[in-house]
Structure 1
Amino acid sequence: MLDFEKAQRTSLTTQVEVNLKSALIIGALKPGARLITKEIAEQLGTSITPVREALLRLVSSGALQATPAQAFLVPVVSQERYREINTIRKQLEGMAAVTALTHLTAEKHSELQRLAEDFQSKVRHGEVEQMLEANYVFRFRLYRYAEMPTLIALIEQLWVQIGPCFNFLHPHSGDIFPDTHFYANLLTALEKKDEIATRKAMEIIIDHDTLILQRQYVY
C-alpha cells in the first residue's frame, strides 16, 4: 500500500530544501548564522518534521553544520576552502558550458541572451539579492542545456556551500559587477560554438567571482 502521508512529507521536505538552498546561494543567510528548526517552520508555515529533514539533507551535502543543541549553523568558509571550491568550479562549470554547445540551438541562445539582459538590468538598479538570483538563473539555464543532471547537482552543491559568502555583498551593491554586458564574451563564444573560448570565458567569470569575494577576508 502506498504511504501517502510519507510521500506528502517527502514532497514538503523537498520544497523546504529548495527554499533553503536558494537562500544560501544568494547570500540571504549569513556565515555563522544559527538556524532554529521551529523558527523556520513558523516562517514557512509548516510542521517541524519536513524542516528538520531538509536541514539534515543540507548537513549531509556539506551546506550546513549540525550542533549538539539541535540547531544548525551556516558554515564560515575559509579563504583556502573558497579557493579550493572555485578551482573545482572552473573544471565542472567549464565542462557544463562546453557540453551545452552540443545541444545549443538559436532559440536556446536567445533565451540565454534574455536572461543575461535581465541580470544586467538588476545590476544597473543595484538590486543585490535580485541580481544574485538572476545570475544563478542564467548560469544554471546554461548548465542544464548540457543535459547532465549529475554534473548539475555537483555544481549546485558547490554553489550552496559558498553562497553565504555573498552575504557581505548585500550592503555593498555599487561595484559588484561591471555595469556592462558581463556575459558578452561568453554569449559570443557560445554563439560561435567555440569550445576553447567558452571554457576561457567561464574561467574569467569565476575568477571575477573570486576577486569579489576575496574582499570579505580583508574587511
Structure 2
Amino acid sequence: MALAAAQTQQRPAFGLAKLERETLHERAYEEVKKAIMGGAIAPGEPMTIRALAKALGTSVMPVREALRRLVAERALELLPNRSVSLPVMTAEKFDEIVRIRLALEGLMAETAAKHITPDELKRMSRLNEEMIAKLRQGSKKYLALNQEFHFQLYLAARMPQAMSIVETLWLQIGPFLHHVTTDFGQSDFLGHHEAMLKALGKRDGNKARAAIEADISEAAQTILESLRQA
C-alpha cells in the first residue's frame, strides 16, 4: 500500500510532466531562431527582451538566454546599450552567402531527390498550397511557410552536418527576404517551387538542384539590388 501511494504521488497530474526550465529556454531559442530565419523580423526592427517575452508568453529569462545564444552564433549583434539587433548586411557579404547557398543547398536538393519519402513530399506540397493562399491574401506570413518548405526539403537529404550550416546561413539572410515580398515576381517564386515538387516526384536530382538554384538566384538578385541601393 505504501509503495502504491508513493507511486501515485510521483505520477504527474493528468499524465503531464512539468515543463522544465531547460525545455522552456530551448523552446524560446527555437522560436526566436525560426522567426529570424522565416523573415518575421525585418532589418532595423527593434528587438527588446520584454517585447519578445510578451510575444512568447514567457518570462524574460528564457528570452535573454535565447538572445545570448544567437549573439554567440552571430545571428544577432549586442549593442552598447545591451539591446540586440540584426547584423549589418553588405552587398559583398550577401553575395558570398548566396554563392555558398547555391553550392550547399543545391547539393542537398539533389540528394533529397534520392531519399525523400511520399509523406515528406506530401508535406512540401501542402506547404506550397498554403503559401499560394497567403500570397493571394497579400499576407507576409508566407515567408515562414517558405522557410518550412525549404527546410523540409533539406531534412529529406538526411545530411545533418550540412543542415547545421544551412541554418547558420538562413539566420543571416532570413530578415532580408522582406525585399522579396514586394519586388520578386510571384509567378517566378511559385514556378520554382512547382518545378522542385515535380523533380522530387520523379526523383530527378539534377532538376531538383536546378530548381533550388533558380529559386535562390532570382530572389538573391532582388535583395542584392536593394542592398546596393541602400
TM-score (norm 1): 0.84
1:175 shift after superposition: 5.0
Q: What one-letter code is carried by the residue in structure 2 that aligns with 1:138?
A: F
Q: Which is worse superposed, 174-183 or 189-198?
A: 174-183
Corresponding residue for 1:131?
142
User: Which structure's CA Rg is the greater one?
Assistant: 2
1:90 is the counterpart of 2:124: no
Matches of 2:56 and 2:120, distance apart in 1:
34
Is the Cα contact below 8 Å between 2:38 and 2:146 reproduced in 1? no
Matches of 1:47 and 1:82, distance apart in 2:
35
Q: Which of 28, 32, 37 is the equivalent residue of 2:40? A: 28
**Secondary structure of residue in 1 paired with 2:75:** coil
Q: Which of 158, 180, 193 is the equivalent residue of 1:147? A: 158
Matches of 1:48 and 1:28, distance apart in 2:
20
Corresponding residue for 1:70?
82
Is the Cα contact below 8 Å between 1:32 and 1:74 reproduced in 2? yes
The Cα RMSD (Å) is 2.3
Matches of 1:182 and 1:122, distance apart in 2:
17
Q: What one-letter code is carried by the residue in structure 2 that aligns with 1:64?
A: L
Q: What one-letter code is carried by the residue in structure 1 that aligns with 2:186?
A: F
1:10 shift after superposition: 2.1
Matches within 5 A, 1:105-184: 105-128=117-140, 130-168=141-179, 172=182, 176-178=185-187, 181-184=191-194
Identity %: 34
1:145 shift after superposition: 1.0
1:176 shift after superposition: 4.4
Is the Cα contact below 8 Å between 1:116 and 1:138 reproduced in 2? yes
Q: Residues 116 and 40 from structure 1, CA distance in 2 versus in 1: closer, same or farther, beyond 3 angstroms?
A: closer
1:209 shift after superposition: 1.5
Is the Cα contact below 8 Å between 1:113 and 1:187 reproduced in 2? yes
**Secondary structure of residue in 1 paired with 2:20:** helix
Is the Cα contact below 8 Å between 2:44 and 2:86 reproduced in 1? yes
Is the Cα contact below 8 Å between 2:192 and 2:211 reproduced in 1? no
1:66 shift after superposition: 1.0
Q: Residues 84 and 71 from structure 1, CA distance in 2 versus in 1: closer, same or farther, beyond 3 angstroms?
A: same
1:189 shift after superposition: 1.9
Which ranges of structure 1 fall in alignment gaps of 5 or more residues?
1-6
1:140 shift after superposition: 1.0
1:107 shift after superposition: 4.0
Which ranges of structure 2 fall in alignment gaps of 5 or more residues?
1-18
Q: Residues 25 and 194 from structure 1, CA distance in 2 versus in 1: closer, same or farther, beyond 3 angstroms?
A: same
**Secondary structure of residue in 2 paired with 1:178:** helix
TM-score (norm 2): 0.80
Matches of 1:89 and 1:213, distance apart in 2:
14
1:11 is the counterpart of 2:23: yes
Matches of 1:155 and 1:176, distance apart in 2:
24
Matches of 2:202 and 2:32, distance apart in 1:
37
Q: Which is worse superposed, 199-208 or 27-36?
A: 27-36
1:183 shift after superposition: 1.4
